Amino acid sequence: MKCIYCNCTESRVVDSRPTEDGAIRRRRECEGCQRRFTTYEKIEMLPVFIVKKDKRREAFDPAKVRNGILKACEKRPVPLEEIEKLVQHIEASVCRQPEQEVTSERIGLLIMEGLKQLDEVAYIRFASVYRQFKDVQSFMEELQQLLDAQKKPEE
């Protein structure tokens, strides 16, 4: 590790601790100038690619997932920390799978599953865009499925 102050390549680790995002924060002391600096280590993951409906491929971007969820939850009483937990859950699910490719359909379903637990209105908002309801009847069918799912635990 090269010192940011004097470019010396010798340093010793004074303190190590994990961060919330899975990285390791290391406090280092330079053997040359004795100044301290912080480094972060993160396990390098192979990129996961999303296969779009038109068969294009692009790298998985958790920011796009976050933006979609935020749009669906706009003006809803959903705490940002819950949204962040959902994004992290989806990212972990995608990165844990053995394949290097996942369909956009799978990502959409993971988002809908999570939103259904967080906020039903946000779920319907996301589903209406994601499923591209063609008419009121298909929208009503989705609402009916949601209502039926609510009744089952009560029975």
Q: How many CB atoms lie within 10 A of CB 36?
A: 14
Residue-wise pLDDT for 90-135, tens only, equals: 998 998 888 899 999 999 999 999 998 999 899 888 988 877 777 7
Residue-wise pLDDT for 7-61, tens only, equals: 999 999 999 999 887 789 999 999 999 999 999 998 777 789 999 989 999 999 9
102 and 136 housed in the same domain: yes
36 and 57 housed in the same domain: no
33 and 81 housed in the same domain: no
> What's the CA angle centered on 120, arms 116 and 124, to 5 degrees?
90
> Which DSSP symbol is given to 44?
P
Q: Which domain holds residue 101?
A: 49-154
- Residue 26 counted as domain residue: yes
- Residue 96 counted as domain residue: yes
Sign, Cα dihedral of 135, 53, 142, 78? negative
114 and 91 housed in the same domain: yes
What is the rounded distance in angstroms from the CA atom of residue 22 to the CA atom of residue 25?
A: 10
- Residue 6 counted as domain residue: no
59 and 77 housed in the same domain: yes
85 and 119 housed in the same domain: yes
**What is the model's pTM?**
0.63
Give the pLDDT band of residue 155 (cuts 50, 70, 90).
Answer: low
What is the rounded distance in angstroms from the CA atom of residue 84 to the CA atom of residue 98?
A: 24
90 and 19 housed in the same domain: no
58 and 37 housed in the same domain: no
